Structure 1
């Protein structure tokens, strides 16, 4: 068995007393040297049980998974970080699948693809639909295929994490990390993992509608720095389409019914002009982003040399 002494497992928790003990034990069983539990003000015995199983425990100063992950990494000195949930949905025994690509130098960030082996009851139909939708949107916007960008089971080097600009407080942290990997050209590998149903008595902290909406908003808002043509172009297309539709209505009434709409004509013109300007701004921004990426690549090559 490989020795993962230079790995810290980071486990954000909130009311996971039912499962946290088995998760910590499973991580130590595969040779991980350090387990850090960042607890989000649990109202049960999560912290006590985690300490009884030899995990280090800190209580996060804020709230939300994103804040817990950022705060947890600040307390980690090891080279590699394994991130997983404390609800036993991510099998600890599969940790080597995610860690080996890092240790062997094949990747700096590894995503565990839960869709490769999703057990019955692990995810509702609504969540599965939302997951597919978000992954397709990510591929369309950012041009990368990371399998399951919402997976909370992943591993990364601490150095690559420090390159990222992360601000999400809740479950949008996984989306932000995927976007930052694409933006900074961080080498990513996707590995298949199992996704288990939550044990009886363990309740999810994820709210599909509200958290799903925040994730989609996060994914779209981050496109302005990684794919500005899509970001500004999509908004411009909406305004432009509205302008064309309104102009069509005005033209129809003018030529067919001999009714003039001076005010609507001005609105249609403004919408069309705004739409064209936004698309042009997106094109210019996209060129600037491309030049910036080329410059970063040159700087990285000079550093390597």
Structure 2
């Protein structure tokens, strides 16, 4: 960018600095909505840097443990320092900042429209990231360009210098060139002014529905750096079991060797076929394996998985259902997808390959298809099979899910949705590994189509309220 062009932008933002908060008050509904959504995305006590921080309101709203704001307007920075002395503010150009600190979250709110070289900025901020960093971008939908210009003419919003108007695809392309990938995109706000009743209809309901959402004013883009760091890790393979005596030994025999070390955790849930005794026998018979055996203290698979995860010593946590309908031989696929950073939450998918005749009943198959579509819509990431029991993630990410579990509460007896919702709330990249679903060789299914189906629908609408609509 030419010096003259940069100076014009700096003069503009320095000149508007004292009036910035006045304009924000005039449009407080819009600005509050932006702050609320960022606070929803970013867990409290995270390490956060905001690029183009202005007077610091958004950075303060996310309640960071460490908060750093950067802006090339000296006047904006001086105001921010006075308003929020507990945060750090730096007068610098985001295209050339030289900070060695790493952050959990990088905020870029309404910034891309004012940058001369967006790609250069994406390249420069790489030094601020780790493999776990999330970049949160908010930008205005280009369909609103002339509506917003009219707002400036009518004095409803501050006049802006010449702006960049980018589509989501434009932003995705720039991110991809610099080694980032989009985790998910959310579209919000159809009505940027508060009007009772209409606000609920347009912003809480319509803005979250397909087709209508594409007309929303704000695009929220959550991205992550692509880092290919391959390092072997210790694995904890959790095998929850109830009335699965005939499958216990095969679970050990059929899991291939992978990872730097393996730990098997059997957790038994009130069986009537001596499953617990079989677990103890297998533990004694395979002394070359690190096998631990526990009885769950509560009820349901979800409780069993949580209790086993709390006892796990591995860097990676894996769930292998004791019915072995997901072949144990496929577990290395999940491990490799995780350590190669192809995803951060690896979910099994049984709905691609043809199934053995009795592997999944027809109504179960239809239910899986529906929930796959519905949760893709809710979570903003593509999913085919939400109900596959095999799920894999790093223990450090699971610990964060536990830390933030209070948002959803203890609502899931199955355990699948507790993990899926928690991963989505943390903006983890969800990736599916395709497996061949087999008919069980021992025992019978413990799923009740009617009772469990009703429960799944209830949890689905609970998720819609807490994640998508936030009513």
TM over 0.5: yes
Runs of at least 4 residues off by over 3 Å: 2-5, 28-32
Shift of 1:45: 2.3
1:87–1:20 CA distance, 2 compared to 1 (3 A):
same
What is the match of residue 185 of structure 2? none
Q: Deviations over 1:92-124 (max 9, x none)?
A: 110011011222233221011111223221000
Equivalent of residue 13 in structure 1, options 203, 220, 241: 241
Q: Supply the distance in 2 between the matched residues of 1:212 and 1:51 (Cα, whole angstroms).
A: 34
> Does 2:252 match 1:24?
yes
Cα pair distance change 1:142/1:108, threshold 3 Å:
closer
Question: What is the correspondence of 1:152-171 to structure 2 with a 5 Å cutoff?
Answer: 152-164=389-401, 165=405, 167-171=410-414
Equivalent positions of 1:227-246 (< 5 A) are: 227-228=468-469, 232=471
Per-residue deviation, 1:210: 0.9
1:208 alignment counterpart: 449
Judge conservation of contact 1:67–1:168 (CA < 8 Å) in 2: no
What are the within-5 Å matches in structure 2 for residues 116-127 of structure 1? 116-117=352-353, 118-127=355-364
CA distance in 1 between partners of 2:231 and 2:453 (Å):
37
Task: State how far apart, in whole Å, the 1-side matches of 2:274 and 2:233 are.
Answer: 28
Alignment of 1:39-78 (within 5 A): 39-54=268-283, 55-78=291-314
Higher helix share: 1
Corresponding residue of 2:439 = 197
Residue aligned with 1:9, SS: strand
- Alignment match of 1:89 (pick from 316, 325, 339): 325
- Cα RMSD of the aligned pairs, angstroms, is 2.1
- Structure (1 or 2) with the larger CA radius of gyration: 2
Equivalent residue of 1:38, what SS? strand
Q: Is the 8 A contact 2:255 2:329 kept in 1?
A: yes
Check 1:140–1:103 CA distance in 2 against 1; reply closer, same or farther (3 A cut).
Answer: closer
Q: How many residues align?
A: 227
Aligned: 1:146 with 2:383? yes
Q: Give the deviation of 1:206 after TM superposition.
A: 1.1
Q: How high is the TM-score relative to the length of structure 2?
A: 0.46
CA distance in 2, matches of 1:180, 1:219: 14
Structure 2 residue matching 1:47: 3-state secondary structure? helix
Secondary structure at the aligned position of 1:78 is classed as coil
Residue 289 (structure 1) aligns with? none
Distance 1:214 1:138 in 2: 15
Q: 1:3 to 1:19 in 2, by over 3 A?
A: farther
Query: CA distance change for structure 1 residues 183 and 216 in 2, over 3 Å: closer, same or farther?
Result: same
> In 2, are the aligned partners of 1:83 and 1:155 still within 8 Å (CA)?
yes
Q: Structure 1 residues 161 and 5 mapped into 2: Cα distance closer, same or farther (>3 Å)?
A: closer
Check if 1:188 corresponds to 2:430.
yes
Deviation by residue 1:61-109 (Cα, 9 ceiling, x = unmatched): 0000011111110000111011011012111110011011222233221
Superposition deviation, residue 138 in structure 1: 1.2
Using the size of structure 1 for normalisation, the TM-score is: 0.69
Query: Which position in structure 2 is the counterpart of 1:270?
Result: none
Unpaired runs of 5+ in structure 1? Answer: 233-305
CA pair 5-33 structure 1, distance change in 2 beyond 3 A: farther
Correspondence list, 1:105-124, <5 A: 105-117=341-353, 118-124=355-361
